Chain A
Amino acid sequence: DQQVKQNSPSLSVQEGRISILNCDYTNSMFDYFLWYKKYPAEGPTFLISISSIKDKNEDGRFTVFLNKSAKHLSLHIVPSQPGDSAVYFCAASASSWGKLQFGAGTQVVVTP
């Protein structure tokens, strides 16, 4: 049962434009959400997180938006850079510690 879904397996965006990655979840107990970035042959690295008491968190070029009523979150990357080409995973947890449920990932390709 996939409780965290990333319905877009891939996204192609031009350098300098905005990348928008989407993630939906079904478990209303989730209250902590994270985005990870993964390059080939490396493990995922933490990018940005948001707790359910917020609806937006920003860190440099990365902003995560949370819509609890829609059980939806999104990651915005502005501006997109070639080094952002990677697989992005959305993850959720029912507490600020505990096992993570991951989405299937979205492959982002930033073209010059």
Chain B
Amino acid sequence: KAGVTQTPRYLIKTRGQQVTLSCSPISGHRSVSWYQQTPGQGLQFLFEYFSETQRNKGNFPGRFSGRQFSNSRSEMNVSTLELGDSALYLCASSPSLLAGALRTQYFGPGTRLLVL
């Protein structure tokens, strides 16, 4: 079974630009979550999607948005990039929102974004 894939793996942008990151979950998984990892801050939860609906949202500004398609693939978009948005963006998929789903949450390798 293929794992969670994220594209692109690396990205360099300049301040003010926007960026779209893509995540393809494990086949059959319907829940996709996004996290931002920065040094010293650990992983910060961005949002979670299930069946094309946003179910949970973290404390990030409106510049961060996401969506999920009918095939469970998800994209996240960051508009008007700032230097502080430089981070590793991780996507995780799980089969459902049911109890125990967190144990079966699988992470992708991440997209490393550098904002200059």
- Residues 28-48 of chain B: 1 if any A CB is under 8 Å from the residue's CB, otherwise 0? 000001010000111111001
Contact A96 B35 (CB under 8 A): no
Contact B105 A98 (CB under 8 A): no
Residue A52 CB within 8 A of the other chain: no
- Residues 73-111 of chain A: 1 if any B CB is under 8 Å from the residue's CB, otherwise 0? 000000000000000010101011111111111000000
Residue A64 CB within 8 A of the other chain: no
Residue B11 CB within 8 A of the other chain: no
Give residues of chain B (88-116) contacting chain A, Cβ–Cβ below 8 Å: 90, 92, 96-110
Contact B109 A42 (CB under 8 A): yes
Contact A46 B105 (CB under 8 A): yes
Size class of the contact patch on chain A: 20 to 34
CB distance from A36 to the nearest CB of B (A): 8
Contact B56 A98 (CB under 8 A): yes
Q: Looking at chain B's contact residues, is the secondary structure mostly helix, strand, loop, or mixed?
A: mixed
How far is B41's CA from A85's CA once the two chains are assembled, in angstroms? 20
CB distance from B91 to the nearest CB of A (A): 8
Task: From B45, B97, B104, B108, give the contact of A43 (CB < 8 A).
Answer: B108
Across the two chains, which residue of chain A brings its CB closest to B46?
A: A99
Give residues of chain A (49-87) contacting chain B, Cβ–Cβ below 8 Å: 49
Contact A44 B56 (CB under 8 A): no
Listed in ascending order, the chain A residues whose CB lies under 8 Å from chain B are 4, 6, 9, 32, 34, 36, 41-46, 49, 89, 91, 93, 95-105
